[in-house]
Amino acid sequence: SLNGKYKVQRHGLFVLCTSGDSVKVYSTRTEEWLHSLQGHTNQVTGIALNPANHLQVYSCSADGTVKLWDFIDGILIKTFIIGYPLFAIYVSEKHEGIVFLHIGFQLVAVHLPKSAEQEVEAKELSAVSSHISPNPSCTAFGREGQYIAFARNLQLNVYFFRKQKTYSFSLKATDKKGAKNAFTCIACHPTDDCIATGHEDGKIRLWRNFIHKKEYTYSTQHWHHNAVNTLCFTPEGTNLLSGGIESVLVQWQYGTGNRKEFLPRLGGSILHVSASSDGQLFCTSHSDNKITVIESSFKVCGVIQGLVKDAVLTDLMIDPRSKALVLNGKPGHLQFYSLLRDKHLYNLDIVQQEYIYEAGLDQFEVVKAAFDIKGYWLATVEERGQKSSDLEFFLKLWSYDERTQSFVLNTTITAAHTDRIISMCFSSSEETTMLVTIAEDGQFKAWCQGVDADTQQDQNFWSCDFVGSYHNLKPTNCSFSADSSLLAVSFQEVITIWSPDTWELLTTLCQPPGVIRDLCFGRLSCSKYLISTTTRNLLCCWNLLTCALEWSTSVEVSKLQSDPLSENVAAFSYQSKHTDLFVFKPNEPRPLFTHKNVCSEKIHRAVFVPREEPLNNCDESSQWLNRSQLYFLTQNMLVIDDSVAVTPFYLLLGKHRQQQQKLNTPSHQAADRPQQPQGSVTITELLHTPAHVLPPASVLCSMFVSSLLISNTGEMESSEQEMNSEKEEEDSEGEMEACDSQQELRAQGSVDEVTPKLSKAQERELKRVRKTDFSWMAGLIDSKP
Amino acid sequence: MGEFKVHRVRFFDYMPSGIRALAFNQDTERMAVARMDGSVEVFHCSDRFFQEKIIPGREQCGIEGLSWVGERLFSAGLNGGITEYDLTNQKVKYTIDAYGGPIWTITGNQQGTHLAVGCEDGTVKLFEVNEDQIQFERNLDRQKSRIISLSWHPSGSKIAAGMMDMIQVFNVETGHSIHRMLADRGAGTSRSKECVVWSVVYLSDGTIITGDSVGMVKLWDDQTGTLIKSHNVTKCDVLALSVSQNEDSLVAGTSEGIVVQFQFVSMVLEKDDKEWVRTRTFRNHTHDIRAVAEITTAVVSGGMDAQLVVRPLLDKIEVRSAASALRKIHFPHRRLVSCARKSGLMLFQYPGHLELWRLGESEGKGTPGSSLFVKRNPEKLLQLKVKGEDHIRCSAVSPCGGWIVYSTASTLRLYRLHCDNNNISITKISKLPKVLSSANQLCFSSDSSHLFSASAQSSVHIASLSQSGCKFVGTLKPKSGSHQAIHLLAASEDGKWLASANSDHEVHIYNLQTQKAHCTVPVYSSAVTAMGIHPATNCLFMMHADQQMFEYSIEQKQYTDWSRTVQRKGLHRFWVERDTPCLNVMFNPQNPSHVILHDMYMLCIIDQSLPLPDDKTQFYNQLTLKSLTEEQRKSQSHAFKVCKTFKDILCVELMPDQSLVVVERPLEDIATQLPAPIKQKKFAT
């Protein structure tokens, strides 16, 4: 699950956090995800506990509604339609029936109408202030809701409700000592008239006497070296909590000046702090998608970790043992994330150095990682100094320790190559494990676990077995064939095929122009093929038996990924600002499956995740997903927005967000309809059920297909009833039918578009190739010793 | 502006003395400052903190406390004596011994009837303040340890005393101790060290506030004798406390050089439930702050780094102006350098000795801004040590370089200087006229034939100097007015006129030929900081502490037209906002319309022939003018030509050969000679 980064609201036993278009409820005791509050159609921007009923929570969303939930049972109580995108919500005990909302740059008080209906339109809006910071932590209610304090840039404003008067206090932008005084967050003391403000340069100011234009006063405290991200008073007002990029939670004793306590090394920078209503627990949310639960004695008692997706440099990998997704996690770590349970498993410390949370430092980061086929070995490359000229990198090999159920460091190779490592792969044979690395110094090296006479018998370290190069060209990629009998290394435009047993250069393959980008061997029945992609928009399939080009097609492929459990190869093609997905078998140039416009960004990382149990889906177009699911990661990682629950039908909702996203596409039909109308309750219901609660995708698919067809057979309906126990779909059914016929047409049309455009001659050639029977060749391979 | 050859003098190693105590008099708005060397200075708080009075110190006279009683100023020190000062004549009035060993603190009650001193032997001694003297009344209950700090309850019935490890509250009536409150020694390593209660403040509501060596500011209740609240201000010592007049603000000075403000604010707005809350922090000092005082609109602090810092409290100030800016006073507002213009000699005045230097000589001409080759190095000719314990009050060297005179509080000494090539000899003039026993200010006539000595009652004695010796000629007395001591004297070039200025802002002009008072310049509200008589026109040019300038024609006994124009048009905002007073007025004989002025940061030539700038014109226009053509320059230029090339100026003097002597004392050099401050951890070091 992906935890939200906006707001964490605490209630003794539960943590609530926004997560995409839902609010997730976690237990503080077990750190387990209990359920989600689903219903918003756009990003949830803020939550606030209902001051009148502590079992209820308000949430506001960019879809223009405020919803009231019973968060223990996960029931939507009421929906208030405001009609404008909302950015934050504030409530106060003293203002019953009123919520304060950010609409644009305005802070607006909204009277919630008391009506028994489920959906009410709230029309009574009154503006409190028209200039408000877009940062929701820059607004806070004061003691007993008598006033509201909000800051924007360098000005602090305090609005008194009874007097209807605003007091403003300004700070200078900078002073001689280089202070940066812009406000970053605000908190108000619960019983005293004291406003705490955080500033860009890390200062915390405590304002008092703010009903005087001149005799107001403040004290300044300074510990943070970067901006204070969040401030929070404990409910009794005895302490003030603050956090920032340092990832240190600081507790300031209120009223005694300098006395403070620290809780360091919490992970990513602290984005938000909140305290439970009884003051016993604190919660911090972090930039690395984490919530930490902290006791009032300043001890961490729980961590709720989501998928870390800050900066993914490694490929997406599957740990063959745990079947967990492996990628960059905490800085310097690899994270193991169970896709099945949607849960973070653990972090493996690769760099084994303290990470300093400060901007602008060049620190070691894991850039490459690879597993061998059994999951017994893990190879990692960590690097520092990419930007500067003095590059430092280490190649590390980790072996799996059965006893500790974890990876332990076996070998560290300090100067594996003279220049940075571009790629590496393990041989895929079961008997011997071999690692091949290619580097920018023009060499590829093979590493083996050798028995060193000097060291003890049971400790086998890795050493270099072979160094190869080809005309001093720079290698671009490497790959082992399925049985590890062949190693393909691409040097610029040339693919070289080596025999790992004798290190003999068997052959070279070349199809200019264009530098080889990706290489992959076919699997199973297609293992005689080698697929390569070039930078000049060429996808080639080589027959290794004839050493000739089997077929080629002109398509720009940004990522080629083969399924280890089937013959299928997935290619992501990025053209005219959207990515298309093709799935094909190497033995025929015609795609099995095409999905136009998967997303709008370039895709650089993808992985096939084996299913626990293979599906036996008979639908031809989705058969390729029977054994594994395809996950991919888009390139645009700059906008790390909120997160969206990974649901199988994510695309259906048509939310093409400018954010990093993960999805799997289980069915042809689903994939072909990115612009599904949003109104359907059934679909939404279906989509928001957690993935592990859903019935198998095969069932879903057929149900889904049937829902898109004109439903006139009773048989279909019965299958649906079986699916959705809640039986809400009856009324929505009719609504769906209306648009179905239209979509049907589109679906048919898309099939034709699939094949890449080929010239007449090529087409003829292809037809000829297709007609030729290659079965004899398969026989040959099989008969090979 | 003209070009000058400049002697940039940096061999005057003036070291200001650290500040030990401050006392503020609310009624007269005067701030008394006691320094480590025993000198006491009085600053006028509403007149731009002009240093009105300086009472030089003595050897071995460490002042520990200062206290105003009405308009009378008392001090007490480690020599065990209580001293009252004669502020009119700027000298010690009397000293009486308290017979209790070294005195650590002195404080007067608000009623002005009694002084209390805290002694090393553990006694608090009460002195009755009589009309002309103080008289010992009695001891309060004697304690075991020394009394470090004292504070009267505003009613005068109780006294809180800070001691080692504890605070005692005494009933003044009975002399018995009411409460004994133990100060905590603090945690960790300092537990074995005693906790010194450096400062105590007794508020009218019965709250006692203490600052101690553990770094705590503690609030106590005098009814129950219990601790109400404690604030940890610093890891080092809290050395000084001061509360504002209306008891809503408190400042604490620490040995880290920071001043922390506490304010008595209501925790819930518009309710009377008030608490002392730490608010602002001021970091203006590098060393220990030994004394703080909260005056009406500012916090004044002073310490080991010898600077007096006036930090305005913006919430108490009605209109922001130059008078309410942050002010740091480094140098005395008196001249410590006198110059024998005709012979190129400089006399530097140190507290305990005088130094006579001959200026160097340079070769050739250079382009403006370049430095010239020094042909002959400056040379220290003479060091003259003061006889006795008193420090020098004033000194002068005659323009011809033949006479040196100095005065302490008790004696005046005149020397004849013989200077043939490299042989320097000095002879003391033994038989001085009796009236020349002590002087507040000394001055020679321009032809070096007469010595003017300002003494008591605002009178000036004239003595004629000749090879045979010194002869009393007569005394100039003002017709009327105050008897305040004269702090400035100015003789005219033609030997006809003498002007004197005293600390009541009066300027008297005397005719030296008739030895009669000629006239009195109308009294201006601000003190005169520098004056000079124009050699050609005999107009008296006066600079005041509020940066106003006046030109008064002596012959016509009225302000000149130029002066009236200045007053009518007003001075430029930038000129008025400068925060150090002008210390010298000079005239350029080559260009009679030029008046040369200087303060600590700049040198200015006022060209009286050019138009005055108004607030819209660019004040510092030297660079702009440089880029313009001759024609445009005429229309752009105005009367004020400011040169900021030199910094931390102690004195500027114009020599007859059109060269300027600029005596600088860089503040960095002073800082390097200070003792090392408390080591503090700085972030990212």
Question: Mean pLDDT over all residues of chain B?
Answer: 91
CA distance B358 to chain A (A): 41
Residues B539 and B560: beta-carbon distance below 8 Å: yes
Residue that wins the pLDDT comparison between A725 and A553 = A553
B531: left (phi over 0), alpha (psi -120 to 50) or beta: beta
pLDDT for the residue numbered B297: 87
Give pLDDT tens digits for A330-370.
Answer: 888 888 888 777 778 888 888 888 887 776 778 888 888 99
In chain B, what residues touch A254 (CB-CB under 8 Å)? none
- pLDDT category of residue B605 using cuts at 50, 70 and 90: very high
* Ordered alpha helix ranges (H), B47-172: none
Burial label for A465, CB within 10 Å (0-12, 13-18, 19+), is: middle
Q: Look at residue A733 and give its three-state secondary structure.
A: helix
Lowest-pLDDT range, A389-403, A445-459, A486-500, B322-336?
A445-459
pLDDT for the residue numbered A636: 39
Q: Give the whole-angstrom CA distance, residue A741 versus residue B8.
A: 97
Q: Nearest by CB to B279, which of A211, A217, A259?
A: A217
Phi first, then psi: what are they for A241, rounded to 5°? -105, 140
Give pLDDT tens digits for A634-653.
Answer: 643 322 222 223 333 333 33
Q: Could you tell me if B231 lies within 8 Å of chain A, comparing CB atoms?
A: yes
Most confident of the following: A528-537, A670-679, B168-177: B168-177
Amino acid residing at A386: Q
- pLDDT category of residue A783 using cuts at 50, 70 and 90: very low
Q: Nearest by CB to B280, which of A194, A219, A255?
A: A219
Residues A587 and A579: beta-carbon distance below 8 Å: no
* Mutual angle of helices A729-753 and A681-688, in 10-degree steps: 80
Burial label for B535, CB within 10 Å (0-12, 13-18, 19+), is: middle
Lowest-pLDDT range, A41-50, B188-197, B251-260?
B188-197
Task: Tell me if A211 and B269 make a contact (CB, 8 A cut-off).
Answer: yes
In chain A, what residues touch B272 (CB-CB under 8 Å)? none
List the one residue out of B541, B586, B600, B643 whose CA is nearest residue B334: B600
Q: How many CB atoms lie within 10 A of CB A772?
A: 10
User: What is the arithmetic mean of pLDDT over B116-133?
Assistant: 94
- pLDDT category of residue B51 using cuts at 50, 70 and 90: very high
List the one residue out of B17, B647, B33, B38 whose CA is nearest residue B287: B17
Phi first, then psi: what are they for A36, rounded to 5°? -115, 150
Residues B170 and B180: beta-carbon distance below 8 Å: no
Q: Give the whole-angstrom CA distance, residue B407 versus residue B109.
A: 36
Q: How many CB atoms lie within 10 A of CB B431?
A: 9
* Torsion angle of the four alpha carbons A581, A583, A588, A590, in this order, in degrees rounded to the nearest 10: -40
Query: Counting one residue from A and one from B, how many pairs have CB atoms under 8 Å apart?
Result: 56
Q: How many CB atoms lie within 10 A of CB B378?
A: 17
pLDDT for the residue numbered A763: 56
Name A48's bridge partners: A58
Test the A interface: residue of B267, B276, B313 with most A CBs within 10 Å: B267
Lowest-pLDDT range, A386-395, B54-63, B197-206, B427-436?
A386-395
pLDDT for the residue numbered A647: 33
Question: Both tokens of residue B567?
Answer: 């007053």
Task: Tell me if B269 and A210 make a contact (CB, 8 A cut-off).
Answer: yes
Lowest-pLDDT range, A5-19, A501-515, A618-632, B223-237?
A5-19
pLDDT for the residue numbered B419: 80
Q: Could you tell me if A256 lies within 8 Å of chain B, comparing CB atoms?
A: yes
> What contacts B170, CB < 8 A, 6 or more positions away?
B124, B140, B141, B158, B159, B160, B161, B176, B177, B178
Q: Give the whole-angstrom CA distance, residue B122 versus residue B127.
A: 16
> What contacts B414, CB < 8 A, 6 or more positions away?
B403, B404, B405, B428, B429, B432, B436, B451, B465, B470
pLDDT over threshold 60, residue A525 = yes
Q: Could you tell me if A260 lies within 8 Å of chain B, comparing CB atoms?
A: no
pLDDT over threshold 90, residue A318 = no
pLDDT for the residue numbered B373: 86
Lowest-pLDDT range, A296-310, A446-460, B224-238?
A446-460
pLDDT for the residue numbered A454: 56
Burial label for A771, CB within 10 Å (0-12, 13-18, 19+), is: exposed
- pLDDT category of residue A12 using cuts at 50, 70 and 90: low
DSSP, residue by residue, B543-609: EETTS-EEEEETTTTEE-HHHHHHHHH---HHHHT--S---EEEE-TTSTTEEEEE-SS-EEEEETT
Signed CA dihedral, A372, A375, A379, A383: sign only:
positive
Q: Give the whole-angstrom CA distance, residue A40 versus residue B419.
A: 100
Test the B interface: residue of A191, A204, A209 with most B CBs within 10 Å: A209
Residues B390 and B397: beta-carbon distance below 8 Å: no
Longest dimension (CA), chain B: 84
User: What is the arithmetic mean of pLDDT over B251-263?
Assistant: 93
pLDDT for the residue numbered B147: 95
Question: Both tokens of residue B610?
Answer: 């050019």
Task: Tell me if B231 and A214 make a contact (CB, 8 A cut-off).
Answer: no
Residues B616 and B633: beta-carbon distance below 8 Å: no
Q: Give the whole-angstrom CA distance, residue A91 versus residue A140.
A: 9
Question: Both tokens of residue A685?
Answer: 């219901």
CA distances from A275 to A47, A86, A240, A588 (A): 14, 24, 10, 61
Name A302's bridge partners: A293
Question: Mean pLDDT over all residues of chain A?
Answer: 76
Task: Tell me if B278 and A219 make a contact (CB, 8 A cut-off).
Answer: yes
pTM: 0.78
> What contacts A146, CB < 8 A, 6 or more positions away?
A94, A160, A161, A162
Lowest-pLDDT range, A75-89, A621-635, A737-751, B77-91?
A737-751
pLDDT for the residue numbered A546: 85
pLDDT for the residue numbered A733: 34
Question: Both tokens of residue B500?
Answer: 């004197």
Q: Nearest by CB to A256, which of B231, B280, B683?
A: B231
Residues B168 and B140: beta-carbon distance below 8 Å: no
Q: Could you tell me if B319 lies within 8 Å of chain A, comparing CB atoms?
A: no
DSSP, residue by residue, B335-392: --EEEETTTTEEEEE-SSEEEEEE--EE-S---TTPPPPEEE--EEEEEEEPSSSBPE
- Which helix (H) or strand (E) covers residue A670, if one does? helix A668-672
User: What is the arithmetic mean of pLDDT over B71-96?
Assistant: 93
Window A:176-205, CB contacts with B under 8 Å? 191-194
In chain B, what residues touch A252 (CB-CB under 8 Å)? none
pLDDT for the residue numbered A748: 35
Helix, strand, coil percent content, chain A, rounded in steps of 5: 15, 40, 45
> What contacts B147, CB < 8 A, 6 or more positions away?
B104, B105, B118, B119, B122, B123, B124, B161, B162, B163
Q: How many CB atoms lie within 10 A of CB A658?
A: 12
pLDDT over threshold 90, residue A614 = no
pLDDT for the residue numbered B255: 93
Amino acid residing at B71: E
User: What is the arithmetic mean of pLDDT over A31-50?
Assistant: 85
* CB < 8 Å & 24+ apart, contacts of B168-177: B168/B143, B169/B208, B169/B222, B169/B225, B170/B124, B170/B140, B170/B141, B172/B114, B172/B126, B172/B140, B175/B138, B175/B139, B175/B140, B175/B141, B176/B140, B176/B141, B177/B140, B177/B141, B177/B143
Give pLDDT tens digits for A57-92.
Answer: 899 988 889 999 988 888 899 999 988 889 889 988
User: What is the arithmetic mean of pLDDT over A569-593?
Assistant: 82
Q: For residue A520, what is the DSSP state?
A: E
Q: Give the whole-angstrom CA distance, residue A491 versus residue A507.
A: 13
Residues B155 and B204: beta-carbon distance below 8 Å: yes
Question: Both tokens of residue A167?
Answer: 């007091």
Q: How many helices (H) and strands (E) does chain B have?
A: 5, 57
Lowest-pLDDT range, A204-218, A723-737, B657-671?
A723-737
> What contacts B275, CB < 8 A, 6 or more positions away?
A255, B229, B264, B265, B266, B267
List the one residue out of B258, B249, B265, B257 whose CA is nearest residue B209: B249
pLDDT for the residue numbered B159: 95
Share of chain A above pLDDT 90, in %: 10
Q: Could you tell me if B281 lies within 8 Å of chain A, comparing CB atoms?
A: yes
Share of chain A above pLDDT 70, in %: 76
List the one residue out of B399, B410, B504 whose CA is nearest residue B450: B399
Lowest-pLDDT range, A13-22, A776-785, B520-529?
A776-785
The pairing of beta strand B659-664 with beta strand B5-9: parallel
> What contacts B491, CB < 8 A, 6 or more positions away?
B443, B444, B445, B446, B450, B452, B497, B498, B499, B512, B533
Phi first, then psi: what are they for A672, rounded to 5°? -80, -5
pLDDT for the residue numbered A134: 85
List the one residue out of A592, A590, A517 whose CA is nearest residue A557: A517
DSSP, residue by residue, A539-602: EEEEETTTTEEEEEE---EEEEEE-TTSS-EEEEEEETTEEEEEEE-TT-SSEEEEEEEEESS-
Residue that wins the pLDDT comparison between A250 and A255 = A250
Test the B interface: residue of A165, A201, A217 with most B CBs within 10 Å: A217
